[in-house]
Amino acid sequence: MIKNDAWISRMAAQGMIAPFEPAQVRQVHGSPVISYGLSSFGYDIRLSPVEFRIFRHIPGSVVDPKNFNPENLESAKLREDDTGKYFIIPANSYGLGVALERLEIPENITVVCMGKSTYARCGIIANITPGEAGWRGHLTLEFSNSSSTDCRIYANEGVVQLLFLEGEPCEISYETRRGKYQDQSERVTIARV
């Protein structure tokens, strides 16, 4: 069953989402932002301003998930103007960011991370990332710019929505099996095997 706003609020008070915004935020200091916070059946998390990395082409190299070379990623500059702080994802490129909010997923919940339509309409596709039962940390978020132009992605504003799905408690949670992405910091975590 998908969990509603009342349940998400109760669980956030117990540490499931921090920091937690108890309503949809659409303006900050009178300026419009891409919405974040609690919605009817989900929670829109924000992109952290701490780090965003873009894949770059290194002639002769191949990205290998079993032997990931961090040299394939370069840091994107955090920029700022009167619309807010943002990173730029080059046309037809791929980038990795991290969630501002820290999550602590209960043992009977799986979280699905979905892209926001505001970004999808600009050509930014968010990878559907799961947050497994018992997982905790800051999600590393994956974005593809499928458009033929560079696109902005705003820090400290809504970037993806989390949907919380309840099931019977699992026998072995992410915490129990000591998953390799447990306790991610507010930094981009590269592929691990």
pLDDT value, residue 71: 85
- Model's pTM, two decimal places? 0.92
pLDDT value, residue 153: 98
Q: Which of 104, 142, 166, 175 is catalytic?
A: 142
pLDDT tens digit sequence for 143-171: 999 999 999 999 999 999 999 999 998 88
**For the chain, which residues make up each domain, given as ranges?**
5-57+65-166
DSSP, residue by residue, the chain: -B--HHHHHHHHHTTSEES--SS-EEEETTEEEEEEEEETTEEEEEB-SS--EEE---TT----TTS--GGGEEEPPPEEETTEEEEEEPTTEEEEEEBSSEEE--TTEEEEEEE-HHHHTTTEEE--EEE-TT-EEPPEEEEEE-SSS-EEEETTSEEEEEEEEE-SPPSS-TTTTT-TTTTB-SS------
Question: Of 135, 115, 111, which is closest to residue 125 (Cα–Cα)?
Answer: 115
Distance of alpha carbon 103 from alpha carbon 107, whole angstroms: 13
pLDDT value, residue 129: 81
Query: 5-57+65-166 is classed in which CATH architecture?
Result: Distorted Sandwich (2.70)
> For the chain, which residues score pLDDT lower than 50?
none
59 preceded by cis ω (within 30°)?
no
pLDDT tens digit sequence for 27-48: 999 999 999 999 999 999 999 9
pLDDT value, residue 52: 98
Query: Known catalytic residue: 142?
Result: yes
- Residue 59: beta bridge partners? none
